[in-house]
Amino acid sequence: MSDADITKAANVDPNMFTLFMAVAQSCSWLAQGPEWTGKKSYDIILAMSDFFNDPATGNSTQSAPKLAAHFGTTTERAQYFMDFMNLVGIPLPDVVEMMKAVFPFAGHPENNSDLFTGIYVMFTILIAMFIGLRLYSRIAINGFIRAYDWVLIFAALVAVGFGGMNSYCLSGPTHYRGLWDRSWKDYYVESWSGKSTEVLYPLGIFLIKASLLLFYWGLTAWWPLRLSAAVIFVVSLGNSLAMIFTAVFRCSPVLTYEGYDYFTATCNADLQIKGEEICGAINIATDIIIWLMPLPMVWKIIQGTRERLLSALTFGIGALACVACGLRFRNVQEYRTPTLVPRDQSRWLMWCMVEMNLAIICSCVPAIRALVIKKAPALIGSTGDRSLATGVKYDDKDDKEKGPEVVNVDSASDN
């Protein structure tokens, strides 16, 4: 249901509906008794309506102690909440009755948790297979696992954790998008998971890029490639840290679900929006550069059109991750645009997950190609003893002519 449909069905002004959303969650903030923290905000609104319509408790100027006792909170907390609502200009009992009538017209909008969970399971299986083949390739060709392989394994764990946490939240605490359909416990979980998401995504992306850049560094002693790798490493590190700090520390205090901070916390929305725009653009740019970085060197070293195309394709598969990064950027911008009911957050979270997992899969392709060349060269038409281990077709004469620029494209086993 669109925002226009909601306001038309409920016959309420958009600004008033936004106020109702905030008050609905505030009602959950008030009701801190063990029997209330797991109830949806709308259920608490119904209970408040009964409370205020009861002649024994309904006097709004004297009912704070009874309201506190009924909902398991302190008198000070209940009085603060009622005074705050008076400052808004509408007595709390009146707002409760309006919310009680309006929210049923808004329905129960949901996040697409089933799609997210299905894609999460699929990618978890895929990256397990690809990383397993990558590690087997390293052991079969080099005899050991390299440092950048361990970095990628850690990145894969971050990606799995990111997907698992958000799959759980989208299927449970944040399954419904309307705040009237969420409990205080749901808000608590969302607060922590939101901050964790804002840390895990930049961390995972940086670790994947770091693994690739370390791999490029080990390809050759050719200084232009190593200098490029070092510069992009520093830029990626700085960009990831900026993404984390602008997202996590945009509010003061960082987490606002405790005590009166819920009402008094301040958030710099412009910092978050500008941070996402700038850091997102840099993220896309570094993705493209990392994708293109080794191609000129590989094109120069490898002889033969067929081998060049195969090697370019090996590295060029990374374009998929670049596309996913762009789609994630677009969906984040769309998600941040103001709406009455929060947008389906599974979409931008899904593209975050897809980007990380595609990048992991793409970074495994060169090692898997080297394994195929060693174990089953006929599959891609490679022959020759030295080509089996490196994926590069050359002879001794080529070595003398190329000198230190000869590289082990697929396994970096000689560096």
Domains of the chain listed by start with CATH number: 3-106 (no CATH), 113-405 (1.20.1070)
Cα 295 to Cα 70, 311, 410, distances in angstroms: 69, 8, 13
- Which residue has 């495994």 as its token pair? 364
- Which residue has 């309307």 as its token pair? 178
Check residue 176 and report its DSSP letter: B
Planar angle of CA 405, 209, 115, nearest 5 degrees? 135
The pLDDT of residue 315 is 66
Rg (CA), the chain: 28
Determine contact, residues 120/184, Cβ cutoff 8 Å.
Answer: no
Residue 397 predicted with pLDDT over 50: no
Q: For the ranges 129-133, 235-239, 276-280, 336-340, which has the lowest average pLDDT?
A: 336-340
- Joined together, the tokens standing for residue 64 give 């704070």
Best CA proximity match to 177, nearest among 103, 120, 246: 103
**CA pair distance 136, 372, nearest whole angstrom:** 11
Cis peptide before 34 (omega within 30 of 0): no
pLDDT band at 60 (very low <50, low <70, confident <90, very high): low
The pLDDT of residue 392 is 39
Q: Residue 234, Cβ neighbours under 10 Å: how many?
A: 11
Best CA proximity match to 142, nearest among 308, 385, 374: 374
- Which residue has 């490639």 as its token pair? 225
The pLDDT of residue 273 is 79
54 Cβ neighbours under 8 A, 6+ residues apart: none
- 222 or 45, greater pLDDT: 45
Residue 2 predicted with pLDDT over 70: no
Most confident of 24-28, 110-114, 164-168, 324-328: 164-168
Give mean pLDDT, residues 53-67: 71
Best CA proximity match to 6, nearest among 145, 177, 232, 241: 177
Q: For the ranges 15-19, 55-59, 72-76, 102-106, which has the lowest average pLDDT?
A: 55-59
Residue type, 242: A
Residue 240 predicted with pLDDT over 90: yes
**CA pair distance 216, 231, nearest whole angstrom:** 12
The pLDDT of residue 302 is 64
248 Cβ neighbours under 8 A, 6+ residues apart: 195, 198, 199, 254
309 Cβ neighbours under 8 A, 6+ residues apart: none
Please, what sign has the CA dihedral across residues 69, 74, 78, 81?
A: negative
Best CA proximity match to 145, nearest among 157, 134, 155: 134
| SS3 state at 147 | helix
The pLDDT of residue 88 is 77
pTM over 0.85: no
- Joined together, the tokens standing for residue 33 give 């008794």
Average model confidence (pLDDT) across the chain: 81
